[in-house]
Structure 1
Amino acid sequence: MKLSIILCTYNNADSLRLTLKELSRCELSNIEEVELIVVDNNSPDNTSDIFKQVKSLYKYKINYIFEPKQGLSNARNSGLERAAGEYILFTDDDAKIPANWLQIYLDKIQQYNPDCLYSKISVVWEKPIPLWFIPEYRPFFVCLDYGNNDLMIEDVHHEFFGKNFCIRKDVLDGFGGFNPKLGRCGDRLIAGEETLIYWKLIKSRKKTIYFPDAEVGHRLKKREYEFSNMRKMYVDSAYSFFYLSKLTTRRTWGGRPLYPLKVSFKALLDHLSNLIVSLLKNDSRYVKYNKIQIAKHLKVLSLWIKNHAIK
């Protein structure tokens, strides 16, 4: 089997139904090349019922796994363990999938024989764009667009997201899968598990390809239209940043990585200065933006002082 799709889901049954129906309509020249693995990460809603309702729509192989241990990395690793494909293609329960998505990935695998490849992600705005939205928030909406040409990726500045990336199973197994101490866990909006995989790909000089042709959409949850959710994502990202630094930074003091200390002090000075400018200009959007940046980096300093352990 060439390709295993792993879709991890938590408490998002209505959107999952849409994504699973879209995946069932994907056009394939050979259905024997593909399987779909849906990993239910201990959802309290009717996720398992949704799977049963749509399973008959599929012409290619589809499996359901229940992973009781909370955490996106745990769910992905559970799917990885069961996957039979040479390549693993990851997506989410809020992805809008085009009908040619799977075949394009199979064609690109045939073309490049890569270790990893990934494509565009755009936001599906089903409601008016919030007044507080600014371009700086795009990464937190999982937007990804590196242009309209295929690229060989050899630097750390073209990171992918888990909604739309593919990797050789043996490569991901060789990396030890996803770090279970990183990644979203229930309502905790911590990330970094994909970043760590990306850095390992670059460091080990694996053949990594970006291509624009397999774009997926990101359907937003109701809470993602609220500024309170953006603030939580920024503050929770302090944990990701600090944990990643502990895992990857060589220079330490008292068992603490020095890199986040340096970055956060500089960021605090910059955003305090920008906050004053935004207040003088009466620019409420950037007042909010600078305030949540300050909150994030104060949290980083708090984690550094406590030398917060990865749990």
Structure 2
Amino acid sequence: MPNIAPNLAFPLVSIIICTSDRHDFLAKALKSLELLSYPDFEVIVIDSSSTTQTSEIVHSVTSNNSLTVKLLKVEPRNISYSRNRGIKLASGSIIAFFDDDAIPPSEWLEKLLFSYTIHGDNCAAVGGAVRDLTRPGHPLQFCRGITNLFSETIAIRPADAVDYNQANGFWFNGLMGTNSSFRKDLLEKINGYDEFFDYFLDETDVCLRLIQAGYEVHYADVTVNHYPQPSHNRIDQKHLTCWYSLAKNTTYFAFKHGFKKFPFVMFVARLILLITHRCLLRILRLKFTHHLPNSTLLKYIQQTFYGIRVGWNAGIKLHKGNLNKVNFSEETC
């Protein structure tokens, strides 16, 4: 497998799972990795849970099989911070990310690595499709998705869809975190994940920066089964609680990548429209779908506007040149 690990027939892959207070599903995810057919991988669990149950689960799973797991406890509930810690711990030349509420097929790693082989030196990242096993019909959540410089996304496209790997393009290939992989050396070259993205748009930003650096993001013909579970960011798939992060990260992403591409008035208008659809209309819809009290809706709206303000200020600072690296790893929903 050239250009990944020239001296190895099977390059070491580091599978990183970031988890927070989902111990039962983490156990299932870890046990599913025992069925992987690829011969050379390590598992790294980055734990931001509020209890010690994750370490107990990891010990229980690994004591009954040959799976070796590196476990690191971290403080902030920040997915980008956790991913960066995992990358530092990784020994593999390929980093594969996987969620604690997902199950991969046995050939998952082989399919990812095959895409690196066929696309060569410029291939920096590879990911596959994600299917939601908790909804009727098991619909796709993601398949060959693309995103633009404002973070507007087309999540599902056909197998023959056009690739978007142009460094100066408006649209670009993206990946979904639970079925994604990256060359470790290139992640390190772009300084890993931007820790401002505590939740949402974290891997989107990485994919774009890799493409802007002259590399490519590609897709593999492999699907991971996802069983989305409640977390500190959502009660269910419709009832999110992370409106602060969604608004903050949407605003910051647009400033970081799209600000210089449009006249200011057009930029602001498009950003307002995006946040209205992504946050405010969805919050109002909760009144009818979940019968939430007005006090809860008001709280979510306030979180949204606070997130816009924080993201706006950080984005402005980026373009003033006064801030080389924004790190709000302590900010949570």
Same fold at TM > 0.5: yes
CA contact (8 A) 2:12 2:93 kept: yes
1:65 to 67, 72, 77: 72
CA contact (8 A) 1:120 1:144 kept: no
- In 1, the alpha carbon distance for the partners of 2:312 and 2:117 equals 49
CA contact (8 A) 1:40 1:47 kept: yes
Deviation at 1:39, TM superposition (A): 1.2
CA contact (8 A) 1:55 1:62 kept: yes
| Alignment: residue pair count | 273
Deviation at 1:196, TM superposition (A): 1.3
CA pair 169-46 structure 1, distance change in 2 beyond 3 A: same
TM-score w.r.t. the length of structure 1 is 0.72
1:217 to 214, 220, 225: 225
Say whether residues 1:11 and 2:24 are aligned partners: no
CA pair 125-196 structure 1, distance change in 2 beyond 3 A: same
CA contact (8 A) 1:267 1:297 kept: no
| Correspondences of 1:1-311 after superposition (within 5 Å) | 1-28=11-38, 31=39, 33-44=40-51, 46-59=53-66, 61-113=68-120, 114-125=123-134, 144-148=155-159, 152-154=163-165, 156-184=171-199, 191-211=200-220, 213-222=221-230, 226=236, 229-230=239-240, 232-233=241-242, 236-251=245-260, 261-266=268-273, 299=305, 303=309, 307=313, 311=328
Q: Which runs of 5+ in 2 are unaligned?
A: 1-10, 148-152, 318-325, 329-333
Q: Which runs of 5+ in 1 are unaligned?
A: 130-134, 185-190
CA pair 207-157 structure 1, distance change in 2 beyond 3 A: closer
> In the TM superposition, what whole-angstrom CA distance separates every residue of 1:260-288 from its partner, at most 9, and x where no partner exists?
522144458999xx99xxx9xxxx67xx9
Name the % identity.
20
User: 2:157 is matched by which residue type in structure 1?
Assistant: Y
Deviation at 1:193, TM superposition (A): 1.9
CA contact (8 A) 2:62 2:68 kept: no
TM-score w.r.t. the length of structure 2 is 0.67
Deviation at 1:247, TM superposition (A): 2.9
Task: Describe the SS at the equivalent of 2:268.
Answer: helix
Larger mean CA deviation between 220-229 and 74-83 belongs to: 220-229
* Structure whose residues are more often helix by fraction: 1
Deviation at 1:111, TM superposition (A): 3.3
CA contact (8 A) 2:174 2:217 kept: no
> In the TM superposition, what whole-angstrom CA distance separates every residue of 1:156-182 from its partner, at most 9, and x where no partner exists?
343212111111101100111111121
CA pair 206-57 structure 1, distance change in 2 beyond 3 A: farther
Larger mean CA deviation between 74-83 and 98-107 belongs to: 98-107
